[in-house]
Amino acid sequence: MEKGAKKTWWIFLLLALVTLGVYLPSVQFGYVDYDDPAYISGNPYVKQGLSADSVRWAWTYAASAAQMEQGLYEGVTNLWHPLSWMSHMLDAGIWGMDSPGGHHLTNVLLHLASVLVIYLVFARLFGSQWVGLFTALLFAVHPLHVEPVAWLSARKDQLSCLFMFSSLYAYLRIPVKAGRGISWWKAGSVLLYAAALCSKPSVVVMPALLLLIDYKRDDLKFAKGGSVISLWKTVVEIIQTKWLWIIPAVLAAMLTFATQSSGSHAFWIEQSSISGRLQLFAPATWYYLLRSFIPMDLSFHYPRPAWVLQPWLIVTSAALLVAAVAASYRARKKFPALWFGVVWFLVLLLPVSGLAYVGSSFTADRYMYTALTGLFAALACGMERWLPAMPRRVIGAIIITALALMSSVQLGHWKDSASLFTHAIKAQPHDITGYVNMGSLRQRQGDYQLAAQYYLQALELNKNDYVSWFNLGNCRRHQSDEQGAIEAYRKSLEIYPHYSPSRFNLAHLLLNPGSRYHDLNAAAQLLEALKASGNYRPDKVKILWDTAQELKRLHR
């Protein structure tokens, strides 16, 4: 074995020991009541394991009415990611559904695999084992990366990351003489990229990373001259050399747009304008960077701060962002790694920056899972350039140790639902999400009075949270407060008229002939809307609909 190969194996061993040392405790964790029931523990298709029926659903989302009655949650089909579904199904077949520790072990191993591949990518790209090692170590232990590893429902972030960096590594191995022809490495890169897109489509920007890599290696050629013809020649050249990656990216983007436009996100996409989301890009970017350099008070959800909509802050943050990017561009000849890292970060941030609707959270830790690698590499290059070997290693060891300890503490918050939600309330006291989820947890435990208190706390923070009103209605219903339940359901529907669970429960209460709140016409209207949507408990909706029609006939 050659000396370089021996050193690589020692590096792999170090990366494995550090990664497993931080994350192996998670194999003792269970499911958390935040998307895990919808995605995994309560998903009838995942429970089946890898079967013809479940695989068909993973790729097509085609479900019969009877299957939907089995417990498909609203929102699970908002994003197309069949390979992520299949990975959960494979876990179900191997470990079963009563052993979440096995599912967590899969997450840990996927994270470790990404750590090793990231080392290979950046060591080869920068021609430095130190850059590859330190970048991979930072990726392994940064506290923002706890969420995608500890949260089973974030499997799609892990898989897309692993496949994307594997594709990038294969791209780096394509022989120079391959030209525009097909080589095994090129074919492997394209196939791995397709797998990344099928795991989570946010990696649609990877063709831009390929151009950045070409730029870094001086392989990106621009047509001479500043004319429109020259620009067109450059674009044609890019398309000719990158079309194998561009076509899957375009198809995935179109499919994602179609999926989200017809899912439960559609209502909220309509409520937010592109211009409004564009205004938040710069503040969100700085918020991400703040969390990256000061990873304190981390949570699974961050509310959009009220102050972020101040015009002066939007303008100032945008100006500072432009100035920072311009400064890194001006320094590209003296410190090219900085310019490379900034562009890498911004490219990977773009799909999850909020320009496209991705959820209610202002930012999310898991969205930094791939983006930070460029900044990590720039830091590693800076340390290699300005620090002697021994001080560099000592400082690097101190940074990795500190981050590993912080990640270990953060990991502990994910051990169960109560720990996660308690920490969320403490870390983000002005965010309703922790209160809502703690209320749901207490509700499932049968403590409806305590659950209602959490929902009321959430509504004090945000009176327009339709989910809290819906859950409060369920609590009031169990407490035999029929009037309170009806009022809560109606409040929920005032905010989000298309929310099917509120429609169904309200119709059920109003349909009761023995209730003093009986309103047959209102119940029939709600059921008619549910029937028209056809995607919420269709069999039970039909039963209530038939009951309403029978009551109408009797009242004639």
- Residue 223's Cβ-count burial label (10 Å; 0-12, 13-18, 19+) is middle
- The predicted model gives 162-181 an average pLDDT of 85
Whether the CB-CB separation of 362 and 304 falls below 8 Å is answered with yes
DSSP 38: I
- The predicted model gives 50-71 an average pLDDT of 75
- Farthest CA pair distance, the chain: 92
pLDDT at 308: 81
Q: What is the pTM of this model?
A: 0.88
pLDDT at 278: 83
Two tokens, residue 56: 């068909």
3-state helix, strand, coil in the chain (%, to 5): 75, 0, 25
pLDDT at 390: 95
* Average predicted confidence (pLDDT) for the chain: 89
- The predicted model gives 144-163 an average pLDDT of 97
Residue 279: pLDDT band with limits 50, 70, 90: confident
pLDDT at 2: 46
Residue 223: pLDDT band with limits 50, 70, 90: low
pLDDT at 222: 60
Measured distance CA(532)–CA(376) in Å, rounded: 51
| Torsional class of 416: left (φ above 0), alpha (ψ -120 to 50), beta (otherwise) | beta
Two tokens, residue 507: 């119709």
**First vs last Cα of the chain: how many Å apart?**
91
Residue 109 vs residue 548, higher pLDDT: 109
How much of the chain exceeds pLDDT 90, in percent? 69
- Judge whether residue 263 has pLDDT over 60: no
Whether the CB-CB separation of 470 and 502 falls below 8 Å is answered with yes
pLDDT tens track for 409-424: 999 999 999 999 999 9
Residue 440 vs residue 273, higher pLDDT: 440
Residue 7 vs residue 434, higher pLDDT: 434
- The predicted model gives 28-41 an average pLDDT of 93
Amino acid making up residue 90: L
- Judge whether residue 157 has pLDDT over 90: yes
pLDDT at 77: 78
Whether the CB-CB separation of 449 and 479 falls below 8 Å is answered with yes
- The predicted model gives 483-503 an average pLDDT of 93
Residue 179: pLDDT band with limits 50, 70, 90: low
- The predicted model gives 191-201 an average pLDDT of 97
Q: 3-class DSSP state for residue 481?
A: coil
Domains of the chain: 3-30+99-257+275-412 (no CATH), 417-421+429-555 (1.25.40.10)
pLDDT at 1: 39
DSSP 64-115: -HHHHHTTPPTTTTSS--HHHHHHHHHHHHHH-SS-HHHHHHHHHHHHHHHH
How much of the chain exceeds pLDDT 70, in percent? 90
pLDDT tens track for 285-332: 999 999 999 999 999 999 888 778 889 999 999 999 999 999 999 999
